[in-house]
C-alpha cells in the first residue's frame, strides 16, 4: 500500500499529539493508531424521520470495514432535515436552511480535527448536497454512499407512497378527498427506512453523486438496507482508505466535464428541479468555475429523456434500479458524456462503463428511442425572470405550450389556498406566489408545493398556471409551474412588482416568462416598491437570510470566486 504524510499526524510528544493521544486512549484507541489515516463517517442519523433511521447500522458496518483496512474511523453527526418533518416550523424554511448547516457541521468536525478523509452517508434531500458541498469546500478525500429508498405500500389494491399522501392532503383540503381516506393512505405509504421512493430530490441527488463520479459506479439508486446497499457501503469503506493514501480529492473529480455528465443524467431522467441549485452550490463551494444553470439551458434541448420514473412516468424506482440504475443510464448516454473524467474509483467514466449492459431497455431506453424528445426540465428567462426560472414539463407532450392570462397575486401559500377554496382562482388565471425565495422565505420556505397540489386537487391543474420565487418538492410534476424565479420578489425582483390583473405569458418554446408591462410601468412600480416585512427573522434563519448568496451561485453562504482558488 502507498503511504504518504498524513495531515492528521503530529510529531510524537508534541502538544497536539499528546492531548489527542490522551483523548483517544480514553476512547480505547491504541497509541499506534495515531499514525493511521483518520476517516470521518458523516452520519445524519435521526429518530425524527424514516429517511435517517437506519444510518446507525450502516455506520457500524463502516467502522468495522475501515478498521480492517488499516485506518481509524470517527463517526460525526450533522443536522438531519426531512421535508415532511422539519418542514413544520419556520414556514418550511428549516429545510433548505439546514443544507448549509450540514456543510458547516462537517467543516467544524473534519477541518477542525484535521481528519484525512470522509465517507458520507447520503440520505434525505438536503443532506446529500450539504455533504457534497463540504467535500468540495474542504477538498479532502471524500466518497458518497447512497443509503437507499424506502419501500412503498399498497392501498385498496394500488401502489401508494409519500407522494400520494402529499397530493392527497391537498385534495383533502380542497374537499376532493375524504380525510379518513387520507389517514388510511398515510398508514400504508412507508414500509421501511429510507428516502422517498419516487424520483424526488433525494433519489435524484443520489444519482447525481454517481454521475459526478463521487459515488461508486452502480450504487444509485438502491433499496435501503438491502444486501446490495450493504455491499456497496462495504466497498466504499475500503475505497476511502485507499483514496486517502492516493490523495484523490473532490476537486480532482469535480471538473467541468463531471458537472456536464451530472446535468445530462438529471435531464435524462427528468429529475428534481432542486438538483440545479444544489449542483450549482457544489460548484460554487469547490470554486470549480462552472455555470450549472447555463449547462441546463445549453444541454436541455440536446438531452433526450430516457427513463420515465414516478412522478414523471409510470415506472417505479425499483424497476429503474433493476434495469441498472445510474450506471445503465450513463451507458445509454455514453455518446453524450465526457468519459475521460476521473471518479472515486481512480479510473475514468469510460473505465466504469466498460462492459456494462442495460438490463431492461424499456425502462432505461437508448438515445435513439427516448421516452420523450422534449426536455423534461426547462430554464426560462424573460422580464419576470431576468436571471432564470425553472419548470418541469414532464414527459407528456403539452398541447398548450403557451399560456397567457391575468395575474392573481399572493405572498403566502395559506392565502393562495384560502382563495382557491373560496373560488377566487379561476380557469385562465396565472397564480403568482411570491416572497418564498432564499431571502424572502427565508431559505425558500413558503409552501409553494402545497399550492401546486391544491390547484390539482381543485381540478384546475391544466387550467391555471403558476409562478413562484419559491422552490418545489422534487415530487412535484403537476400543471404548468415556473419556480425559483430570480431575482426574487423580496429583494426587488420583477415578480414583486406584478399586480392583480397584469397579463402574463409563459412560452415554453421561446423559453420565456413575461409580464405585458411598458418600460414606464416597470419604472413607476420600482420607484414605489417597498421591501416586505421580514418573517421568521430569528436565530439560524436570521443568520441564513443575512449571509445567503443568490440562486445563480447556488444560494450558498460563501462568496463565489469565479477565478477559482485552492
Once rounded to an integer, what is the mean pLDDT over residues 135-146?
Answer: 98
Q: Which of these is catalytic: 82, 473, 486, 518?
A: 473
Region 300-313: mean pLDDT is 94
Host domain of residue 397: 377-553
305 vs 375: CA distance, rounded Å: 7
Confidence band (pLDDT; 50, 70, 90) for 561? low
SS3 501: coil
Task: Report yes or no on 12 lying in a domain.
Answer: no
Active-site annotation holds for 473? yes
Q: What is the pLDDT of residues 103-115, one digit of tens each?
A: 999 999 999 999 9
pLDDT digits (tens, 9 = 90+) for 170-219: 999 989 999 999 999 999 999 999 999 999 999 999 999 999 999 999 99
Three-class SS of 376-389: CEEEEEECCEEEEE
How many C-beta atoms lie closer than 10 Å to residue 232's C-beta? 22
Do 322 and 389 share a domain, yes or no? no
Kindly tell me the number of DSSP H helices and DSSP E strands found in the chain.
Answer: 20, 14
Reply yes or no: is the peptide bond before residue 268 cis, omega within 30 of 0: no
> What is the reported pLDDT for 394?
75
Do 42 and 128 lie in a common domain?
A: yes
Q: Does a structural domain hold residue 115?
A: yes
**Same-domain check for residues 135 and 267:** yes
Query: Average model confidence (pLDDT) for the chain?
Result: 94
Lowest pLDDT segment from 11-15, 75-79, 474-478: 474-478
Q: Following DSSP, what letter does each residue of 311-338 receive, concatenated?
A: TTSSB-HHHHHHTTHHHHHHHHHGGGS-
pLDDT of residue 395: 75
pLDDT at position 2 over 80: no
Distance CA 462, CA 408 (A): 16
Q: Are residues 258 and 301 in the same domain?
A: yes
Q: Which residue has the cell 473529480?
A: 253
Cell match 436565530: residue? 539
CATH for 196: 3.40.50.2300
b vs e for 354-392, b when ≥16 Cβ sit within 10 Å of the residue's Cβ? eebebeeeebbbeeeebbbebbbbbbbbbebbeebbbbb
Q: In this model, does residue 399 exceed pLDDT 70?
A: no
A 10 A CB-CB count for 220 gives 30
Question: What is the tens place of the pLDDT at every residue in 16-43?
Answer: 999 999 999 999 999 999 899 999 999 9
Number of domains in the chain: 2
CATH code of the domain in which 389 resides: 3.50.30.80
SS3 13: coil
pLDDT band (50, 70, 90) for residue 566 = very low
Residues 309-329 have a mean pLDDT of 96
Domain assignment of residue 172, yes or no? no
Q: What is the pLDDT of residue 478?
A: 80
For 418-435, what is each residue's pLDDT tens digit? 999 999 999 999 999 999
Amino acid at each position: 500500500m502507498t503511504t504518504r504524510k498524513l495531515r492528521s499526524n503530529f510529531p510524537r510528544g508534541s502538544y497536539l499529539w499528546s492531548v489527542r493521544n490522551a483523548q483517544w486512549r480514553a476512547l480505547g484507541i491504541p497509541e499506534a493508531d495515531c499514525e493511521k489515516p483518520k476517516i470521518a463517517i458523516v452520519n445524519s442519523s435521526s429518530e425524527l424521520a424514516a429517511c435517517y433511521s437506519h444510518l446507525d447500522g450502516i455506520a457500524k458496518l463502516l467502522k468495522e470495514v475501515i478498521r480492517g483496512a488499516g485506518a481509524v474511523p470517527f463517526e460525526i453527526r450533522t443536522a438531519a432535515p426531512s421535508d415532511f418533518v422539519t418542514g413544520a416550523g419556520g414556514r418550511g424554511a428549516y429545510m433548505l436552511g439546514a443544507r448549509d448547516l450540514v456543510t458547516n457541521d462537517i467543516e467544524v468536525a473534519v477541518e477542525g480535527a484535521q481528519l484525512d478523509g470522509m465517507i458520507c452517508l447520503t440520505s434525505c434531500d438536503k443532506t446529500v448536497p450539504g455533504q457534497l458541498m463540504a467535500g468540495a469546500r474542504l477538498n479532502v478525500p471524500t466518497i458518497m454512499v447512497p443509503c437507499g429508498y424506502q419501500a412503498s405500500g399498497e392501498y385498496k389494491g394500488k401502489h401508494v407512497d409519500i407522494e400520494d399522501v402529499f397530493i392527497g392532503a391537498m385534495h383533502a383540503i380542497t374537499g376532493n378527498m375524504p380525510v379518513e381516506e387520507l389517514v388510511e393512505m398515510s398508514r400504508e405509504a412507508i414500509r421501511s427506512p429510507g428516502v422517498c421512493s419516487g424520483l424526488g430530490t433525494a433519489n435524484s441527488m443520489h444519482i447525481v453523486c454517481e454521475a459526478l463520479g463521487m459515488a461508486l459506479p452502480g450504487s444509485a439508486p438502491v433499496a435501503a438496507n438491502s444486501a446490495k446497499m450493504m455491499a456497496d457501503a462495504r466497498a466504499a469503506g475500503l475505497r476511502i482508505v485507499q483514496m486517502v493514501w492516493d490523495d484523490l480529492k473532490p476537486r480532482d473529480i469535480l471538473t467541468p466535464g463531471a458537472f456536464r455528465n451530472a446535468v445530462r443524467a438529471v435531464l435524462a431522467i427528468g429529475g428534481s428541479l432542486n438538483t440545479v441549485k444544489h449542483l450549482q452550490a457544489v460548484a460554487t463551494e469547490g470554486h470549480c468555475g462552472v455555470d450549472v444553470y447555463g449547462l441546463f439551458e445549453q444541454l436541455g434541448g440536446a438531452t433526450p429523456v430516457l427513463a420515465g420514473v414516478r412522478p414523471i412516468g409510470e415506472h417505479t424506482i425499483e424497476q429503474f434500479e433493476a434495469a441498472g440504475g445510474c450506471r445503465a443510464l450513463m451507458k445509454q448516454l455514453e455518446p453524450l458524456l465526457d468519459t475521460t473524467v476521473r471518479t472515486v474509483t481512480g479510473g475514468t467514466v469510460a473505465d466504469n462503463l466498460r462492459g456494462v449492459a442495460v438490463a431492461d431497455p424499456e425502462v432505461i431506453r437508448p438515445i435513439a428511442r427516448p421516452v420523450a424528445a422534449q426536455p423534461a426540465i426547462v430554464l426560462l428567462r424573460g422580464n419576470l425572470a431576468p436571471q432564470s426560472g425553472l419548470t418541469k414539463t414532464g414527459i407528456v407532450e403539452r398541447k398548450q405550450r403557451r399560456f397567457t392570462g391575468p395575474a392573481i397575486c399572493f405572498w403566502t401559500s395559506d392565502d393562495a389556498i384560502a382563495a382557491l377554496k373560496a373560488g377566487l382562482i379561476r380557469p385562465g388565471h396565472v397564480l403568482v406566489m411570491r416572497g418564498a425565495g432564499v431571502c424572502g422565505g427565508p431559505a425558500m420556505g413558503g409552501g409553494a408545493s402545497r399550492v401546486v397540489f391544491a390547484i390539482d386537487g381543485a381540478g384546475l391543474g391544466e387550467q391555471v398556471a403558476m409562478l413562484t420565487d419559491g422552490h418545489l418538492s422534487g415530487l412535484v410534476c403537476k400543471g404548468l409551474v415556473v419556480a425559483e424565479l430570480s431575482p426574487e420578489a423580496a429583494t426587488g425582483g420583477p415578480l414583486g412588482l406584478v399586480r392583480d390583473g397584469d397579463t402574463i405569458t409563459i412560452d415554453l418554446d421561446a423559453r420565456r416568462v413575461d409580464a405585458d408591462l411598458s418600460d414606464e410601468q416597470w419604472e413607476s412600480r420600482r420607484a414605489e416598491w417597498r421591501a416586505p416585512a421580514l418573517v421568521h427573522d430569528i436565530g439560524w434563519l436570521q443568520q441564513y437570510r443575512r449571509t445567503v448568496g443568490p440562486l445563480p451561485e447556488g444560494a450558498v453562504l460563501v462568496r463565489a470566486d469565479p477565478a477559482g482558488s485552492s
